[in-house]
Amino acid sequence: MLLNPVISKLAGKRVVLASASPRRQDILSNVGLRFEVVPSWFKETLEKSLFSAPQEYAVETAKQKALEVARRMHMKHRKTPDIVIGADTIVTLEDAILEKPLDKQDAYNMLSRLSGKEHSVFTGVAIVHCKSEKDNQLDTDIVDFYEETKVKFAVLSEDLLWEYIDSGEPMDKAGGYGIQSLGGMLVESVHGDFLNVVGFPLNHFCKKLAEIYYPPSKQSIHRVKHDSIPYVESFENLSDVEKDCSSSKNSDIKKARKDCGNNSCSSGPSLQPTTIIQNGVEKKSENTIQFPSKIIELLDGFKASKTLFAASKLKVFDKLKDKGALKAMDIADKINASVHGTERLLDACVALGLLEKTHQVYSNTELANTFLVSDAEFSVHGYIIHSNDHLWSHYTHLESAVVEGINYHHKAHGQTAEHVHGPEVKERYMRAMHCTLKITARDVATAFDLSKYSTACDLGGCTGALAHELSWIYPEMKVKVFDLPEVIKNVTQFQPEKSDSTRIIFTSGNFLDDALPKADLYILSRVLHDLLEDKLHHLLRKVSEACSPGNSALLIAEIVLDEEKREPRALLQSLSMSGGKQRSGTEYKQLLESHGFNRVQIKNTGNLLDAILAVKR
């Protein structure tokens, strides 16, 4: 009944669903909504750490999906839609977002974490209204919101877990399950909108459409007076609103957004008059602006980073892993710090979701045990320490670096090259590169089918983290790691226990100066973005000359910017003024083609690094 007036309002409009999900299509089709399906090409590369809550990430992703379709249809298809609907559903456990499983083992790990626990399913939805202006510019008006549903899993047995995994259903599902199919047998209870878990919050969507197209009339708003606080405007029951609104004509969307008046309607600042009471007389105050939460979040961002750095430097997460749970005074004793300071640091870590606190006792979250404990398999501890001890200082004089266009850190501190590249710094850098490649190697190695290449050479391959992943995925491939002598002599401590020295060989050399080893596949990981133009072209010429036409290729692992260059992580990294530059997919393609490579493929991995495969013609 709620959607009926809205359906008639949408009759004759071009409504587009920016999703290929059959589940979302079914939900909307079943209530009579007529729409086209145009899957979005938006690369889901938003940096999750920049969002204060998972639902904000889902909403922004939904918005970008819808906007990409709207712009593409307007510019390329010459078919400007009236309305584009974007949606993104995520599964979170303890504020950590669970992606789609990479393989069966990943699905098992994911579902095991959910076993016996309650988790949240968020769906962000964006409704984009489009209009083509006289100068062919696209004007868009966006309303967005999210819905949360709590889902609790039963305690799952090993047999049930593997039976479900072997069905193949988990592999294309966020969180590793589909509640509407076999995955329903894993669920003990659902609190909230069931369809939200399936993939689209229909009830909330209907209410939002009603707010947009049928804003309440003045007669349906009554004022409640309280002592010393402003009047509160409240809506009567919805059925009355529908009756009132069914006769309204051509309601303005932007007015509806103002009437909506809550955070779910719009993400931008808005000026609105505020009603106040003085001596029993109602008055309108001057316009007030919406609280700039995004700016405040950025303003305080460095404090959160430094909290993570300090806790990692003091090995807080290591101490808690060893002992399980400790009071502040016990942790202070173990890290040789004041109780007062330690308690503040621990509470800040709890607020950031890195620790848990129960009855004044602190313990690691699963996130901390997996990534922050220094000896964990996928620990990023080394990169955190490198960020604290080295990268942090590069941004201390950022304004001066921008003015002069140089790396101001060395100038400000008067450091010599020997000090900057001393043994301790080199080892710290190796640890940082090792831990980041450990968590990205699988996605880079599987981005393309590399089985046709029997030999590979990882130029600047450091500790061999990517080489080991390649050798594990491609049993017939032999990989040579080619790096500086001082790097190669220190790689032993980074090797896994069962390392196959016959298939992974470490060779010392300088890829800029020395002849390159022969290989079918050359690899450059986190190299190109850091090189000055002359060295960059010199290296690519060498690689191109070493490749056999038609039989050799170059695999690159870098952050690939979107075409509008809005990927924040890469752009923020570029402010270190290293001398190189970050590039978009088009720029990488042009660069590689200029050196004789063609059939350039680019794969967004959703991880720290994207992958590019270029074949020599």
The DSSP secondary-structure symbol of 449 reads -
Which of 26, 88, 103, 193 is catalytic? The answer is 88
Q: Is the alpha carbon torsion for 22, 9, 209, 290 positive or negative?
A: positive
Averaged pLDDT in 10-residue chunks for the chain of 617 residues: 59 86 89 87 83 92 92 78 94 89 90 93 95 78 95 92 91 88 91 93 89 65 43 37 38 40 43 54 58 80 93 95 88 94 94 90 91 89 88 79 68 44 73 84 92 95 91 92 92 79 90 95 93 94 92 93 82 77 91 92 89 91
Q: Are 178 and 169 in contact (CB under 8 A)?
A: yes
Closest by CA position to 39, among listed 61, 17, 22, 23: 17
Q: Enter the tokens of residue 221.
A: 């708003």
Q: Tell me which fold the domain 295-420 belongs to.
A: Arc Repressor Mutant, subunit A (1.10.10)
Residue ranges of the domains in the chain? 4-210, 295-420, 425-616
Buried-state track 475-496, b at ≥16 Cβ within 10 A, e below 16? eebbbbbbbeeebbeebeebee
Give kind and range of the element (H or E) at residue 160: helix 158-166
Give kind and range of the element (H or E) at residue 161: helix 158-166
pLDDT given for residue 89 in this prediction:
94
Closest by CA position to 55, among listed 104, 126, 123, 139: 123
Distance between CA 13 and CA 464 in Å, rounded? Answer: 56
Question: Token pair 């036409």 is at which residue?
Answer: 549
Superfamily of domain 425-616: Vaccinia Virus protein VP39 (3.40.50.150)
pLDDT given for residue 417 in this prediction:
39
H-state helical runs in 301-360: 301-313, 316-323, 328-335, 339-351
Q: Are 557 and 466 in contact (CB under 8 A)?
A: yes
- Number of Cα atoms under 13 Å in the Cβ half of residue 535: 13
Distance between CA 57 and CA 54 in Å, rounded? Answer: 5
pLDDT given for residue 265 in this prediction:
43
Helix 423-445 and helix 465-473, axial crossing angle in degrees, nearest 10: 20
Active site residue 88: yes
pLDDT given for residue 245 in this prediction:
38
pLDDT given for residue 278 in this prediction:
56
The separation between the first and the last C-alpha atoms of the chain, rounded to the nearest angstrom, is: 62
Query: Which CATH architecture does the domain made up of 4-210 adopt?
Result: Alpha-Beta Complex (3.90)
Rounded to 5 degrees, φ, ψ at 91 are -110, 130
Give me the DSSP letters along 227-274: TTEEEEEEE--HHHHHHHHTT--S--HHHHHHHH-STTT-SS--EE--
